[in-house]
Structure 1
Amino acid sequence: MQSWDDLRIFLSVARSETLSGAGRALRMDAATVGRRIARLEDAIGQALFVKSPQGYALTEAGTRLIDHAERAEQAMQGAQSVLTGEAGTLTGQIRIGAPDGCANFVLPRVFADLSKANPDLDLQIVAQPRVVNLSRREADMAITVSPPTASRLSYQRITDYTLHLAASQTYLRSHPLITSVADLRHHRIVGYIPDMIFDKELDYLSDLSLDRVALASNSASVQIQILRQHGGIGIAHDFALPFAPGVTRVLTDALSFTRSFYLVRHAEDRRLDRISRFATALAHGVRSEVARLESLLAGT
């Protein structure tokens, strides 16, 4: 029977697909990781990985071992949750993946409050203009703009948020008046790089008959900065605009978008009290912070 330590190393290699990546995650020398994997393969009499120029890929035997190893991981995390006490403050490390707009404008205050309430808890934000891969344990949970389709993931809707056209007051004063969506064809459009939109919910401009994005980025935060520099007009999160002085919403009565944030995690993690308590606190914090930031725009 494999020890938990062997399975822990196996999981890290499977998720990072390299010995060096696993070594960094485990705080272990890559050569030692390689020796431990070789020893595990000798013990069970089967190869678990195939090495290629792209890294370490699971064999059929390795794929079968993944479920067993992840169940052992869940059991160890559950035991830790019991030993640290269910009613006390949270401890350890939790990593959250989130779209960069949410990560930049919503999560900082939420995480600061959670850290104050749980001083022994280490929190990490992975801000990515893509969906974080939970299966490879890039994060413990993720905030997304669409519910997941993978059956091994569970999710809850956290809150809705709104978006509007926005531009700097300086830009609007020096360019043709915008009285309708049709007028946008006479303006520089700021938005996502079309072929790098990682979720259909972010394709705001497809229904506006705009065939050119003059200033594009795969980052919502970069787009906000372009608007601040009077670059053009684009779709912006209402919760981001309090961080963009001089940028104002346009055509609020004619055009708006509503999207949702979802909290996604492994289905098995729902059995872990520590993760469940953190998920509840995180969802409450995100919901409250989005509402607070959007309320700052009331009447504008």
Structure 2
Amino acid sequence: MHPCTPWRGGTALDTASRLPSPDDLLILLTVARLGRFTAVAETLGTTHTTISRRIIALEKQLGGRTLSRTPRGWELTALGAQAVRAAESIEESLGALRCALADNADPLAGVVRISTVDGFGSEFVTPALVKLQASHPNISVEMFSATRKVSQNRSGVDLEVVVGHADVRTAHAILLGHYVLRLYAAEGYLRRHGTPQVPADLARHCFVSYVESALLVEELGHRSTGLPDPRSSFQATSIFAQVEAVRREAGVGLLPNFMVAGRDGFVPVLADSFERRLTIWAVARPEALRSARVQAVIEAIHAEAAARQEHLDF
């Protein structure tokens, strides 16, 4: 019998009992987007055990495995991919129904989980998301700060905003723009220690930057600059701590230009001979990119970066 041919020996109730639960399909869709049961449980307000139990029930109904554990985390099987396409149709239909019941309410609703680098996240991602929520108040945002390369594992987020080289294998990278890092020091520090005139002069100074041993994006650290080893260093995993250290006269810092340019007390160092330009990417897996709210978030961040590109280039 062809798989799409109805079985005439049973009842409609028999057929319905063999169909997977729409709720379980939507759970599978969320697993496909986030990749980790714990992240799904947090998003849906339930437990890891419940998510696991519902996936097992779904696989029993479908008659096969929907997920496969790999070094990258949970990945969809061929059957799982088919089920996810059905789940996306359910999600779209429920969104349309919600709008109809609420008299053309906003169709964008639900949680979007985003991982982003600190500085760009606060200065560009945050205002973009605040503006998006003002237009679409049913979107909820969970934003995580992380200075790292693109995760090759299932990261538990819908979207990663990263800087530097975007090496992706199972996801899509969307260029958001670029920004410039330059050297800065406080006025008081330069009065006491002198202003470097050539790169070699930095060997007599303290250098403020990321903790090299913990840094995953090498372009942000001192070692990749080609500058001489400093007399001493002040290293921090937070760019905000680095900015504050420079402001409080700890040394010469390699800082995002958009965070300090034009601020009182920050003096450019070697402005004519040194700068570093980094690209910014939004990275998401195909399942997440098919989500209307994830697409809306990417568009909002891209628009914010484009509208203020002169601050990034400055």
TM range (shorter): 0.7 to 0.9
Instruction: State the partner residue of 1:230.
Output: 249
Q: Alpha-carbon deviations, 1:183-236, whole Å to 9, x = none?
A: 000000111222322124324542424345611122222211211221111210
Alpha-carbon offset, residue 147 of structure 1: 5.3
Q: Does 2:220 match 1:202? A: yes
Q: Does 2:113 match 1:95? A: yes
Question: Does structure 2 retain, via aligned residues, the 8 Å contact 1:74–1:268?
Answer: no
Q: Does 2:46 match 1:28? A: yes
When the two structures are aligned, how many residues end up with a matched partner? 290
Q: Does 2:151 match 1:107? A: no
Segments of 5+ residues of structure 2 without an aligned counterpart are 1-18, 100-104
**What is the alpha-carbon distance in structure 2 between the residues aligned to residue 225 and residue 94 of structure 1?**
31
Instruction: State the partner residue of 2:146.
Output: 128
Instruction: State the partner residue of 1:298.
Output: none
**What is the alpha-carbon distance in structure 2 between the residues aligned to residue 84 and residue 281 of structure 1?**
23
Instruction: State the partner residue of 2:188.
Output: 170
Instruction: State the partner residue of 1:289.
Output: 308
Instruction: State the partner residue of 2:265.
Output: 246
**What is the alpha-carbon distance in structure 2 between the residues aligned to residue 269 and residue 10 of structure 1?**
12
Cα distance change on mapping 1:109 and 1:44 into 2, 3 Å: closer
Which residue identity does 2:179 align to in structure 1? Y
**What is the alpha-carbon distance in structure 2 between the residues aligned to residue 106 and residue 58 of structure 1?**
29
Alpha-carbon offset, residue 41 of structure 1: 5.9
2:242 is paired with a residue of what secondary structure? Answer: helix
**What is the alpha-carbon distance in structure 1 between the residues aligned to residue 35 and residue 141 of structure 2?**
24
Give TM-score scaled by structure 1 length: 0.76
**What is the alpha-carbon distance in structure 2 between the residues aligned to residue 177 and residue 58 of structure 1?**
48
Give TM-score scaled by structure 2 length: 0.73
Percent identity of equivalent pairs: 24
Segments of 5+ residues of structure 1 without an aligned counterpart are 296-300
Which residue identity does 2:121 align to in structure 1? A
Which residue identity does 1:188 align to in structure 2? C
Cα distance change on mapping 1:143 and 1:225 into 2, 3 Å: same
Q: Does 2:167 match 1:158? A: no
Question: Does structure 1 retain, via aligned residues, the 8 Å contact 2:159–2:283?
Answer: yes
Instruction: State the partner residue of 2:275.
Output: 256
Q: 2:163 aligns with which of 134, 137, 145?
A: 145
Alpha carbon RMSD of aligned pairs, Å? 3.9
Instruction: State the partner residue of 2:208.
Output: 190
Question: Does structure 1 retain, via aligned residues, the 8 Å contact 2:150–2:168?
Answer: no
Higher alpha-carbon Rg: 2
